[in-house]
Amino acid sequence: MSTPEARGIKGWRVFPWDERASQGARFSPSFVPAPTGRGRFDLPRELSSTLYLADSPEHAVGEVIQPWRGQRIEAPHLQRAGFPLALVRVTMAPGIESNLVDFCDPRILKDARIAPDLTASRHRENTQPLARQVWATGASGLRWWSSFWGDWHTLVLFTARLGGRIEFGHPVPLTPADPAVVQAAHLMGIGIVA
């Protein structure tokens, strides 16, 4: 049987990395915090935590450096909580991808009677009920476009339905020269101080 890694279905995440953190512990690649209700598609705590993944390395980086749009960043901007930010590839079994509700597909939105602008809302009181609606279908999560560009997509995975069918690769600490940092910064109008 092939592993999720061999199948190549992937997403990306950036997180503060402590090399000494054990699997699933805070600051490890596989750590998923308990729901806080602050995420656009968070579910209630009693249902499931939510893992947000980007569809590309530059998108994952863009999500964390976006507060500095129109400014310049340098190495200290690529740290959180005293740890370096790292990029990690997350590989999923095909069963997960085929069980996602794709909010990028107009037919899905039409069938569910969901207005496209509702999925793109910045107001959690609009988007979190959509996540609960997807949860009620038995889906593993959803796919939607980034609030930055329609070219970037986010995978929102309900961890209670993953059943160990995802793998986290080896993290790579980010530097100002990292291609994903350079590309994300360029797209977002952020200068880089080497």
Say how many domains are in the chain.
Answer: 1
CB 31 within 8 A of CB 25: yes
Residue positions counted in the chain:
194
Cα separation, 71 vs 167, whole angstroms: 35
Tell me the pLDDT of the chain (194 aa) as tens digits.
Answer: 334 434 446 899 999 999 999 999 999 999 998 888 888 999 999 999 999 999 999 999 999 999 999 999 999 999 999 999 999 999 998 888 889 999 999 999 999 899 888 888 889 999 999 999 999 999 999 999 887 888 899 999 999 999 888 999 999 999 999 999 999 999 999 999 97
Strand ranges in 8-139 using DSSP code E only, listed in sequence order: 9-16, 50-54, 72-73, 79-80, 83-92, 100-102
The reply to whether 135 falls in a domain is: yes
Q: Does residue 20 sit within a domain?
A: yes
List the one residue out of 72, 91, 85, 59 whose CA is nearest residue 164. Answer: 91
Q: What CA–CA distance (Å, rounded) separates 47 from 125?
A: 17
Q: Which amino acid is at 67?
A: P
Q: Are 169 and 88 in contact (CB under 8 A)?
A: yes
pTM: 0.90
Does 186 fall in a domain?
no
Its domain, for residue 125, covers 4-57+86-173
